Every structure is written in C-alpha cells, then in structure tokens.
Amino acid sequence: MKIHSFTVQPNLPDNIKFLEELASDMWFTWNWPAILLFVQIDPKLWTASRRNPKWMLGSVPQKRLEELSRDTAFVEQVNKVKEAYYNYKNNSHTWYKEHKKEQGDMLTAYFSMEYGIGEGLPIYSGGLGMLAGDHMKSASDLGMPIIGMGLFYKKGYVQQLLNRDGWQNEEYPDNDWAHMAVERVLDANGKEIVVDVPLGFNETVKACVWRVETGRTDLYLLDTNLQENTPAQRLITEKLYGGDRENRIRQEIVLGIGGVKALTAMGKYPTVYHINEGHSAFLLIQRIIDMMQQRKMNFAQAREIVWASSVFTTHTPVIAGNEHFDPMLVRKYMEYYAQQMGISWEDFLALGKEKADSATFCMTVLALRLTAYANGVAKLHGKVSREMWHNLWPGLPINEVPIGSITNGVHSASWVSHEINDLYRKYLFNGNQMGEVDPSNAKIWEKVDEIPDEELWAVHGQRKNKLINLARRRMKHQLKRQGFDMMTVNKASKILKPDVLTIGFARRFATYKRATLLFKDLDRLDKIVNNPLRPVQFVFAGKAHPADTMGKEFIKTIYNLTQNDVRFKNKIVFIEDYNMNVARYMVQGVDVWLNNPIRPMEASGTSGMKAAVNGALMLSILDGWWDEVGPCDFGWSIGGAEKYASDAERDAVEAESLYNLLEQEIAPTYYAKNDKGFSAAWLALMKKSIREIAPVFNTNRMVKEYYEKFYIGAHNFGQLLSQNDNAAVVASWRKKIADNWYRVSVTDATPAFDKAILMGDKVNFKARVSLGGLEPQDIQVELYLGTRGTLGDIEKEDAVDMTCTGKDGDAYIYEVQLSPYNSGRQDYALRILPACDKVPNILTPLYLRWEE
C-alpha cells in the first residue's frame, strides 16, 4: 500500500496571525505574557499539548480562532506581546554589543547531547540538558553570538510509569515533530541540507539539520531518521542516550563530526567551539581534518589552532561517569579519521587514554588534551576535577592543573513563577518582566526588603496551593492508571496540606544523590512529620536511568512508604514522571529545597537555584554550588566538609544532622507565626536568600563569565594562530621543545644564608640553567615559593619569573630579587616551563622540569 501525506496548518485570522510566529520561537517559554496568550485560548488544550503551542494551534477549532479575533482585549494582548517580541529581537543595545572586547567577529558553537528549552521540545533528560537550555536562553538575552548544536531525537526521553509496587517502568513516546517548533534547514537554493558522516571505512550515514529558533539565537539538531539510511542508521538518533555502547559512539560521532560538517554546510564558521560534557568531543577531530585540508597544514599545525580555540566543560566528578569506550570499538569507527589526520592509530588512541596502559578510550581525556580552556561547574567541582585528571599533567602540582571553574546558574526568567515575577516587577524591576532585566545585576535585588511581608507570603501561598493541586491531580491519574477503585482514587484529594511546612526533593535518582537519606530512621522521621505543633510534609519526584536498578529500588522504597506506611501516607508524596513542568511547580511551591548528595559527587546542581529565586530556602549538603554559599545565615547546611571512616558513618552522621536541623531550627522558625499568619523571621530569611543567591546563581552571570574567561581568549588566539604562519611557528616551537627537553635542567646557585633574614630584606635568588638546543626566549624559569608539605612537595604561595642575566660557560644564569612574604620558615624550589606568547595555555601538553 502506498501512503501519501500532506500537512494542514491552522488558518489564523490576520489580526492574531502573529501567534503562529510566536509558537515557532522558543522565546515564548520564558515570557509569561506570551504563555498567557496560549493559556487563554484553551487552558485544557494547553495542558494536553504539554505546553507546545504549535501543536495546540493546530488543534484549536477554527470557530474558536474566529471568536478570539473578535475579542478586542485578546487582540490587544497579542499586539502587546508582538511589540515586546520585536523590540527584543531588534534590540541593538544588548549586553554583548555594549561590552564586546574581542578582535573581529566572534561566533561560538555550543555542542551538547541534550537541551532543556521547553516541555514542548522533549530532547532533555536532566541537569545537563537544563543547563544547556538555560545557557542558550541567556546567550539570547545577552545578545551573545552563540549557536547550539545537538541531536534531533525521534522519541522523547523516557516517561516514567510506576506500577502498584512502585517499580519504575518506561515508555518512549514518539515526538510529533510536524507540530513542534522546528523547521528543516535549507541551503541557498531551497534544498534541504543533508551531510554525510563516515562511520569508519565502510559506512556513511546521512543526517539532515533542523533549526529551533530560540530568541536571538538558534539551536540546530541533527537527524539520521531518513529514508536514505539503513534501519540501524535511522536508530542512531532515535533516543537520547539510547541503545548499546556501539550506538552511543555512533551518536557521538554524528553529534561531533556531523555537527561540524553541518555548520560548514550552512555557511557558518564559528571561531570558538564549546564542548558541553565529553559526548561531542569528536568535533575536535573533524575540526583538525578540515583545517588540514582547507589550509594545507599538517596535523601539528592544525591542532594548534583547534586547541587554542576550543572550550570544554566537564560535569561529572566520578571517573566512571565520564564517557569511556573500548579501544577496539573506537578503532572500528575512528581509524578512518586517524588516517585523514596522517597520524598512527597508536597516536590517535593516546589522545583519549589517561595513561599509556589505560584500558579504555575516554572522551573527557580527548577533550582535555585538545582544548586550551577547561572548567568544572562549581569551585569545588573544579578542585575535584583537578584531582581526578592530575595524571594528564604528571609532575604538576594539583592546584595548577589547568582546569578552572565557572559555577553553573539558571535562566531566572524560565523558572520564576509569574506571581513572584509580578512582585519583582512592582518592587524591584521598575515594571519590567524578569526576562527584560539582567538578573546578574546585584543592584536590582537590593530592594527586595521593600516587598511587604504580607504580599510575599500571600504569593508564596498561591504557589504552594498550585503545587499541592498538581500533586493531587497527578496522583489521581496515576492511581486510575494502576487500576485502583474510585474510593482510593478520590482519597488522593487529601494529600498534603497548604498550611504545613513543605520540603521538596526532585532530581535524577542516581544513588549518590541519596534520595533515601531522609528515611534512615523512620521513627525519628515520624516524630518530625507528625509533630502536632510543627508538622512537616515532603514532596519527592525524579526518574532513575532505565538501566539503574539501584536507583529504581530507591524510588520503590520511597513510593511504598508513601502508600503503605500510615505514618507517612498523604504527608510524603512521590510525583510520577518528573519533567520540566513538574520541576517548575515544585521549585515555585515548596518552602524548603532539600539536597543531600554524597560530597563531593554533585558537580553543581541547579534545582536549588531555581527554588531560591522563588523564595524557597536551601537545606543542603556542602556540595556543588551550595559549597560556595553555606554555611550561611539564610539557609541550612547539613554537616560540613568532614571525611568519614565509612559510608555508614557518613550517612548516620548526616541523617542525624538533617533531623536536628528540621526539628530544632527549620520547623520552629517556620511556625513562629505572628497574628498575621506568617513568621516574620522566615520572611526575613526568604528575602535575604533571594538577595544573596539570585544575582549570582543565574546563567546571565555564567555566560558572561564564559565570555570573559574563555570565549574572548579562544577567539583571539584562534584568530592569531590562523594568521600568517603563526600555527607553523608554534608547531615548530613545540617540536623544538619536545626534541630538546631531555637536555634541560636547573640548579640552585643562590648563596648560602649565613644569617637570619629580616622582614623587608631583599634576597637575591640565583639559578644555573642548561637549555641544550633551546634559547632563553623558549622557556621561563620560576622561583616556586611556599611551604614544604607533609609529602615533601611545596604548597604554593607564588611562582615568580626569574630573569636571564647572562651566561656562565654553557649555562645561563637566572636571577630574581624579592622580600620574603612571611616570617618563619620559607621554602622554595626552581622549575622550568616552556614560554610562547602565541599559546593560551602553556601547561598543555606539559613540559616541566624541577630542580633535582
């Protein structure tokens, strides 16, 4: 049977036709007046559409559209949103345009496996996707020249279905892309762009490109579900993180290598590439190949340009959580690319091996070796990452490993409730929406104390009621699906109470996040939950990875306690199928946000930031972003930075700390209510939390930081190395360093100290340096000052450049004069590093010589 297809589009009257344009730009997702337009058309249909306006408009009866076109109030609202939209799109005074610092025209390509832009575009699973989506939105708000690259999944990420026993089952519904805010990308001749991506020597997969308009920027998605491809090839982009290890590497080749090819096919030539987690690191390989072919360079020269203009963000503080592949599987697909680069298979494999004898090829290692700029996603995570990947820089003190940190944030306008936003507009934003102000401007938050307590408490109460109603609706739906009788279903109308202290916990159910820590002592928890004067209720949500059996066991444990233990029934609830919509209700409705991972395994976490901008208070382990805030006087920290003798001891101590905080500090403060029905002390905490957290932990601040710390340098050095013969000069210099480094040495020639040195005295330090075939301009000699540690190393206070003052035979003399920084014992060491003003990071690859 031959099947033919055609598309029917809604026929909107001219005076509301703008709704079609609005529905095709994800800008609407962070602008409440725009969302409200769709809600007003048909609230039930808006919910049924999963907040996908393009699908919704196609389902609205023509009669209703005609009716709306005659509604003068609705048409007026459409025109107001239209005006705000075009003002936004055409604004010539963006933050970026007013703060541009780099030379020439920068364009950053941001690669990520997932993006959480909106519920109607289900190409996300968890925190990585939320962060990527918020990154794109803030790039749009700031006018930053950033484009996104990802994959176009046939099926949305797993939907969670709990059975009667609380066991998680999964469904993968097909995405209806014909009714989503995406469009195929065409070339100048109107032909759909399709790129060929070689999968080894004997296979090539075709991928088309879709565009998602996201305010002032665009997200591009690659799709292999084409008739020209084999069934196996079409499955590459079927599911996010789907399939076996072989399909995973095929996905990552399509994303990385196909992404670079797609940008070229679209006539886009980024000057900076940002790799968000290691999944897309193969893009570095394709960039090198393109550079070699287009500029007639060798591998060493092309690598210099690619390395200098690439940024890598690592998100995973656990070695096993980083992407590892069997070397034989990598060889099957990547030896083809090694040959194109003109390097041996052994040399290619070494790019992804942590050590010569490593058993796996690691995408994080590949990214760290081929990017000049690397960071963790919180200060603590940066420290953990330097410790994790120290083997890539042997001999270098851990604190100098070139992995910095840029702490994550959230796109405030996407996560703040419209009720709280209205308060901010009135008292803080001079009538503007959150999306129209820069939340990283600390001055706008200084007026938060001007919000009357009564108004803030009333608005917070509205959001709590909405959360409770959502929980009740979803629980009823869940019980019906599970086959319970109507009496049981109707009892779900009684879960949770609006006047009870409400604590939320929602995240991916990875075991290190310890969703069950709260339940360590059920009798103690019973006393907290059922305290007659100060009761506490909890809302849980989250999915386990389909292959994570232990995570599913955690869900089952909690679900069964909520359903079968009379002490907790209706007072602790688990909301099924956690997604962006549920997350929004939770962060906007709870009083306290609970976070209790095993320190330091939470790289950053962002859900607490979303809760904070809505006035919820934090109750958290000192991990991720909260380690930069707590202990503080506007939230609560569970434990400290202690190390424990065992996992059991850690869990026992931190559960005890959690219970004590709930009983002795949190509940008493919340219930210290005045005659107006609220606790003035609690409102004071809410306001201080907002004032301290909101201006810092947002993606506007984060994207600015990426720009100033990384993008400017990556763009400028990439441009520098692309000019004249600079890449060849640097490649030649690197070879000169490599060929001669074994002959380099340094010896201390400082005269013996025959008497104590007084503070303020000048000390002349002197070194004899042998350089072999190198010249003084090829290296830098440093006096490394500090205090001798317990392991015989030096805990650095400073590294001071020494100056070449002449020669003594074949050796060069280096000297520096300075005054001691502190009294007491001082230690120092001498070391040599390469030096070149044409590279952004002298530590990769590492050449380092200490005095022996």
pLDDT for 22 equals 97
Provide the token pair at 694.
């909101």
pLDDT for 822 equals 76
Q: Which pTM does this prediction carry?
A: 0.96
pLDDT for 826 equals 82
Contacts of 294 (CB under 8 A, 6+ apart): none
pLDDT < 50 regions, the chain: none
> Cα 740 vs. chain centroid, distance in angstroms?
41
List 834's β-bridge partners, or say none: 779
pLDDT for 718 equals 97
- The CA distance from 593 to 619, in Å, is 6
Provide φ and ψ at 567, rounded to 5°: -65, -25
Provide the token pair at 380.
């603590």
Provide the token pair at 548.
């994570």
List 101's β-bridge partners, or say none: none
* Cβ-based burial of 272 (10 A; exposed 0-12, middle 13-18, buried ≥19): buried
Contacts of 831 (CB under 8 A, 6+ apart): 746, 781, 782, 784, 799, 848, 849, 850, 851
Q: In this structure, are residues 146 and 700 in contact, taking their beta carbons and an 8 Å threshold?
A: no
Place of tokens 């929004």: 584
Provide the token pair at 524.
């103690």
- Pairing state between β 108-111 and 146-151: parallel
pLDDT for 330 equals 98
Q: In this structure, are residues 143 and 214 in contact, taking their beta carbons and an 8 Å threshold?
A: no
Closest Cα partner for 504 from 466, 459, 540, 557?
A: 540
Q: In this structure, are residues 213 and 181 in contact, taking their beta carbons and an 8 Å threshold?
A: yes
Long-range contacts of 627-635 (CB under 8 A, 24+ apart): 627/378, 627/379, 627/380, 627/599, 627/600, 628/378, 628/379, 628/380, 628/407, 629/692, 629/693, 632/692, 633/688, 634/685, 634/688, 634/689, 634/692, 635/685, 635/689
Greatest Cα pair distance in the chain: 100
Contacts of 90 (CB under 8 A, 6+ apart): none
Provide the token pair at 534.
């100060």
* Helix, strand, coil in percent for the chain, rounding step 5: 45, 20, 35
Provide the token pair at 356.
């010569």
Q: In this structure, are residues 618 and 626 in contact, taking their beta carbons and an 8 Å threshold?
A: yes
How do residues 600-654 score in pLDDT, each as one tens digit?
A: 999 999 999 999 999 999 999 999 999 999 899 999 999 999 999 999 999 999 9
pLDDT for 5 equals 55
- Give me the count of residues in the chain: 852
pLDDT for 656 equals 97
Closest Cα partner for 390 from 374, 372, 403?
A: 403
Question: Peptide bond preceding 631: is omega within 30 degrees of 0, i.e. cis?
Answer: yes
- The CA distance from 107 to 272, in Å, is 6
Q: Work out the number of other CB atoms within 10 angstroms of the CB of residue 791.
A: 6
Q: In this structure, are residues 601 and 317 in contact, taking their beta carbons and an 8 Å threshold?
A: yes
Closest Cα partner for 306 from 626, 768, 714?
A: 714
User: H/E/C letters for each residue in 551-573?
Assistant: HHHHHHHHHHHHHHCCCCCCCEE
Helix (H) or strand (E) holding 781: strand 779-788
CA distances for 75 relative to 23, 78, 231, angstroms? 16, 5, 48
Query: Is 258 strand, coil or helix?
Result: helix
Nearest-10 Cα torsion for 252, 255, 257, 261: 170
Contacts of 213 (CB under 8 A, 6+ apart): 24, 25, 26, 27, 181
Query: What percent of the chain stands above pLDDT 70?
Result: 99
**DSSP summary character for residue 171:** E
Nearest-10 Cα torsion for 490, 491, 494, 496: -110
List 194's β-bridge partners, or say none: 208
CA distances for 484 relative to 90, 164, 475, 560, 575, angstroms? 54, 9, 11, 15, 17
pLDDT for 7 equals 56
| Cα angle 230-233-234, degrees, rounded to a multiple of 5 | 85
Strand runs (DSSP E) across 632-673, as ranges?
Answer: 636-638
- Pairing state between β 183-184 and 204-214: antiparallel
CA distances for 269 relative to 219, 266, 655, 663, angstroms? 15, 9, 52, 58
pLDDT for 794 equals 79
* Helix orientation angle between 283-295 and 327-341, rounded to the nearest 10 degrees: 20
pLDDT for 174 equals 87
Closest Cα partner for 715 from 269, 176, 242, 158?
A: 269
Provide the token pair at 722.
């692309």
Question: Peptide bond preceding 751: is omega within 30 degrees of 0, i.e. cis?
Answer: no
pLDDT for 792 equals 64
Helix spans in 674-825 (H): 680-693, 699-706, 712-722, 726-740
* Cβ-based burial of 15 (10 A; exposed 0-12, middle 13-18, buried ≥19): middle
Q: Work out the number of other CB atoms within 10 angstroms of the CB of residue 43.
A: 10
**DSSP summary character for residue 368:** H
List 830's β-bridge partners, or say none: 783
- The CA distance from 18 to 27, in Å, is 13
- Pairing state between β 849-850 and 803-808: unpaired
- The CA distance from 364 to 275, in Å, is 10
- The CA distance from 733 to 843, in Å, is 14
